[in-house]
Amino acid sequence: MNIPFQISHPRNYIAGVGSALVDMCLQETDDFLTSSGAAKGGMTLVESSFIKDLLTKTIRKPAVVPGGSACNTILGIGKLGGNTKFIGKRGNDELGTIFENGLKNHNVEPLLMQSSLPTGHVLSIITPDAQRSMFTYLGASSETQPSEITPELFANTALVHLEGYLLFNQKLILSALKAVKDAGALISLDLASYTVVEASKDLLEQICQEYVDVLIANEDEARVFTGCNDEQKALKILSEKAPVAVLKVGKRGSYIAHDGKSVTIAPKGDGSPVIDTTGAGDLWAAGFLYGLIHGYSLEKSGEIGSACGFEVCKVVGATIPDEGWDRIRSILK
């Protein structure tokens, strides 16, 4: 079914606002995950010392790459050829340099403030089922002040993508949302984690009603937010909260709803094994939002998102190799 929908916007930038984090992706056993105390598939806020101590208990070396939910999405849009910028706060340290260089290498304009705290980082434990469970030290990113997110940051911006993790800082996310609307840009929000939704349901309801144009959730986040186990009913509820609603259902694909209608997006696959789901939802959002802002239909945008989400699952971490991007770009032609 073809749902008539197209974003026509005179501006061409897509911006991201979120935590400037460096991902440390560690492949380990379920027993190791259990001993760490993590909730499988969830996100736990910790101190830097906790991550450092946990790394002493493994003989494996983590892969270190730029990360953070909104950042992963913007990195993907940059690799697709979109005009992008990322707003966040880094530390004046080696991890901060790794983060900023990662943005530039993905054709993303860094609009980064600096803090005396260390750059935030995430230990993502990847178990044999390819599920990732995260311990997050926010570090410098936690010092971003509401007054620092101004409408001027979003000049020439068509859409601003926000990560649900910002819901933990109510003053910051409300300030960011107001700044984006004052700048005349659209807003997309990825719910990020079911643990975030559990802690922030009332605020989330308010934000969706007042600000959000594109709402993106996976099945766990949608279930917690809507209180509904039935996917189609959950999708309908999500679609009542924003003009465009997305429900991702992992290896089964995704659903997109707009104006009382919905479409199913088939999953991509070529027989390659799923190695790691880190960044899968973020890269899905990258392809989808790139498609929307560049005039593709909802269905085509969903197809691009599905391809991005599949390619990132073939590797450890949220960085798709060049050959993967070549396959994705072939869909755009």
Percent of the chain residues topping a pLDDT of 70: 97
* Average of per-residue pLDDT across 31-50: 90
List Cβ neighbours of 269 (8 Å cut-off, separation of 6 or more): 251, 310
Per the model's pLDDT, the better-predicted residue between 176 and 316 turns out to be 176
Q: How far is CA 135 from CA 9, 48, 67, 280, in A?
A: 38, 9, 13, 17
pTM: 0.89
- Dist. CA 53–CA 327, nearest whole Å: 40
The pLDDT tens digits for 195-204 are 899 999 999 9
Q: How many residues does the chain have?
A: 333
The token duo for 149 is 């997110």
CA distance 17 to 68: 10
Place of tokens 């926010």: 138
**pLDDT tens digits, 15-36:** 999 999 998 989 999 999 999 9
pLDDT in tens, 76-102: 999 999 999 999 999 999 999 999 999
Model confidence at 4: pLDDT above 50: no
Beta strand 108-115 with 83-91 is parallel
Distances (CA, A) of 278 to 179, 206, 312: 30, 29, 8
- Of the candidates 157, 249, 158, 244, the one whose C-alpha atom is nearest the C-alpha of residue 208 is 244
3 state DSSP class of 248:
strand
Q: Judge whether residue 6 has pLDDT over 80.
A: no
**Per-position b or e across 264-293, b if 16+ CB within 10 A of its CB:** ebeebeeeeeeebbbbbbbbbbbbbbbbbb
Rounded alpha-carbon distances, angstroms, from residue 66 to 19, 22, 45: 11, 5, 18
Q: Which residues contact 333 (CB under 8 A, 6 or more apart)?
A: none
Name 227's bridge partners. Answer: none
**CA 221 from centre of chain:** 13
Beta bridge partners of 250: none
List of residues 6+ apart from 11 with CB closer than 8 A: 156, 157, 158, 185
Identify the structural domains of the chain with CATH numbers, from first to last: 13-20+71-118+143-332 (3.40.1190.20)
Tokens coding 151: 């409408």
pLDDT in tens, 187-242: 999 998 888 999 999 999 999 999 999 999 999 999 999 999 999 999 999 999 99
Q: Where are the alpha helices (DSSP H) in 37-169?
A: 48-55, 69-79, 94-105
183's CB contacts (< 8 A; 6+ apart) are: 151, 152, 153, 154, 155, 157
